[in-house]
Amino acid sequence: MLWWLLLLVVLLGVILLFVPIQFEFRYEHDQPVERVQLFIRYLYLIRVQKRWVIPTPSIDSLLSALLTNLAQETQQTHPNEKERVKRKKQLYYLTTLWSHFDQAEPLLLTLLRKIAVREFTWTTSIGMRDAAHTAMACGMAWRVKSAIVGLTTQLFSFRKSPFIGVIPNYHIPNFTTKLSWIGTVSIGNTMIAGAKLLWLLKMGGAHARTSDSIPNANSNGKSQGNG
């Protein structure tokens, strides 16, 4: 009886791992605020909903924040030891991942292809003081959007053709854009791809330490003889 119960629990766990999670991402730019919404649903039982309303930053505020950050880093002549070790570790993992990018690329592409996009809508309204400038800006927006959507269709699995639109406004100067993205992904596929990527990072780090410890090591971490 106990074995049947354990088997049932394991089977249920496997099924739950590969049940897709539905997510919905919405972004809206409408001065003077940026609106971001994220909805996550799993088995109609777990629902997560987050909303952020962010004031649209101006050029002056961005420059001021950048200068303040630079001033703080300049004054901090003796950085925190924990922060220094953390940055060193992050740089190490990024370097390892980049050095094995040819092996990590198929894993990342496989993970992205597991994300099924069921709805993709992106509309933008552009208006300038001059009608000719408005038409030129709309044309540029069409080209940029087409390139971005073309790239996303290569990376993700679209179940429905994406919809993009550019609306010219010849009456008042404005710029608004709305993006809606609905998709699904399973926890199991994400965990498998993530485990493979972590294993690659671990093996890459071990390989790098082995190569450093062996004098005259070649690309395979083996010592090269004179003969």
What are the structural domain ranges in the chain?
21-55+95-213
Residue 61, exposed/middle/buried by CB under 10 A (0-12, 13-18, 19+)?
exposed
Q: Is the pTM value of this prediction over 0.85?
A: no
pLDDT (tens, 9 = 90+) of the chain, 227 residues, equals 677 777 777 777 777 777 788 889 999 988 777 889 999 887 767 788 888 888 776 656 666 777 777 666 665 555 566 777 777 777 777 776 666 667 667 777 878 888 899 999 999 999 988 889 999 999 999 999 999 999 999 999 999 999 999 999 998 888 899 999 999 888 777 777 777 777 766 665 444 444 444 445 454 444 455 44
The structure tokens 């030129």 sit at 136
DSSP per-residue string spanning 40-78? EEETTTEEEEEEEEEEPPPHHHHHHHHHHHHHHHHH-SS
How far, in Å, CA of 179 to CA of 153, rounded?
A: 16
Beta strand 116-127 with 157-158: parallel, antiparallel or unpaired? Answer: parallel
149: its two tokens: 């959507």
Determine the Cα angle at 103 with ends 99 and 105, to 5°. Answer: 95
